[in-house]
Structure 1
Amino acid sequence: MRYLDWGTKVFDGFAAIGWPTAEVAAGYLPDLEQPLTTLNFADFAIVCRDDLPEDVAYLATWCMVKTRRALESQYTHFPPDHSPVTYPVDPVAMADTPIPLHPGAIRAYADLAGDTGDGQILIWS
């Protein structure tokens, strides 16, 4: 495995739209011998084109919010500082993205405001 530095030009470009960097400590990943600067992927983001139909963006967002407890349960065996997913997953934090939300996603987050995730736990199969 080889870890590549993206360079300041790439990081500066992402910083201009509000996407911060993070540092991965030496030894955190196999054979990572020195700290590595990368984009902050503390959580995940789904990026789509502007012309994605609104109903599709709404459904994707609805599914992410409604299935978050199932997703969390798949990562609780990782120590929190090594988990690829921050949990508990917080829809308010999910909606706070470094890039603008799709109008369908905005509507879904508004419709699901206050959803605790403690009701019917949906899961995919």
Structure 2
Amino acid sequence: MTGAFERPDGERHGDLHRISHRLQQGLRRLGPKGARVRMRVGRGGLDETGRLFAGETDIAVVTPTAALSLLYGFGDLQGLLALGVVPRSGGLVAAADARLGEDTVAGLVARAGRVTIATAADDGVSLLGFAVRRALRVAGVDASVDFVYDEQPAVCCARYVAGEADVVIHDLMSSPEWPKVAAARPVKYLSWGPRVLHTFAGQGWPTRVLPAGRLPNLDADLPTLDCSDVAVLCREDLDDELAGLTARMLARGRHPAEASEVTRAPLPLHPGASRAYADLFAAVPLRSR
């Protein structure tokens, strides 16, 4: 089997690169002779789904899965299927300077001075940025704050430490920088509030509760927007044998009790992947969207 794998300069998602590289190497080694699967590591958002639609790639890794569920519910992403899921913990957390004296995201709108938020941009590619901007609009604060943007949580954290931002909204669970940030500057985790969480839940984006102690100085359970997991996607025309092989690689090392971790996909499973999971996890009910 031949393959194409590209890691662009400035790649900022090491976990996506590792997943793609592992799949590419496995498909090259175990796939049918002469088959070709194209993959490219980008930003893990709508850049990846766009390449699938354009026929530029055959398999893509995209995160978070909740964003894909929401977009699929809107009627987008038709013609794409899932091959499985790589579990990864994540949550969209709003962390503010404790000296602001706020407890909720909605409370930011009532402040006399404008607040600056460091977060990912809603630039038509970033699914995290899409979620942040949508959540802020529902909370009613989108037009009353200023923004500094970067897709990397570490950069947003650095801006918070430097005083360039009063609030960080990001998947802070994925940032090794956050414990140092929380130690360097007082922090208060802001509640999104029921309006935001219920609106998103009604559109297919689940709530995740972070238990007290899960983040530095988090002294109470925090309901937030789930940003977990990486979805492995393809078009409907991907060869069944390749789809099944990809599924088996994603399931490798998992017990039947863990079947839902890899099959709980935000889009319908490719038939080849579904059959492979059924064989691997016999007698375990499997569910995708």
Please report the TM-score for the alignment, with normalisation by the length of structure 2.
0.25
Structure having the larger proportion of residues in helix: 2
Please report the TM-score for the alignment, with normalisation by the length of structure 1.
0.48
Structure having the larger proportion of residues in strand: 2
Task: Find the structure with the greater CA-based Rg.
Answer: 2
